[in-house]
Structure 1
Amino acid sequence: MLINVDDTCVATDVDLQHLPTTPCILLCGESPMTASAFMVAVDQVVVNDRIFTFTEAVNDMFMIYYVLNIDYPVELGATMEFIQR
């Protein structure tokens, strides 16, 4: 769900082969609190690389799950369902 990338990383620098196929948030920094920017990826493709708040990144990720009718990953299902409600 959260993947750290280099603080100065841009979408073209992301190693797409190591991304999950499910929607995920890429943190440009060490943690969600100190990240300089965020990106959202789905199906190993960065779909939004201009996100500046963690709240907006989480919102975008949940919208992708909903609009594309993607099931939550089994290992994150309970957590994602809790956050959704």
Structure 2
Amino acid sequence: MPLEREPFVCGVSQMIDHFVKNIPNADMGFKLIFSQSSFPGYQAELIHSREEYGGHWYSWQEQEKEGWLCPALFKYFDLVPNKIYCKAEKLCRR
């Protein structure tokens, strides 16, 4: 089941704001694609740095940003990925 309005804390929301800055009406929704393997067109490579309070810190070195992902990370990954590649896209509405 996908998460909706999950509160990401300590910097991840700011990373997402950066991903969606060129998506019109992103406040009405967008698609976030992420994988532990790189893929064509990814916007960010997040590198795992440490565990804390059941969640995990990732750094986006190109933007000098760091963010903490809550334990909901395990809804998508069985093990903590060393890297997470991600990209935001406009939603296709029908």
TM-score, structure 1 as length reference: 0.28
More helix by share: 1
TM-score of the aligned structures, taking structure 2 as reference length:
0.26
Greater per-residue strand proportion: 2
The structure number with the bigger radius of gyration is 2
Q: Does 1 or 2 have the higher relative contact order (CA < 8 Å, sep 6+)?
A: 2
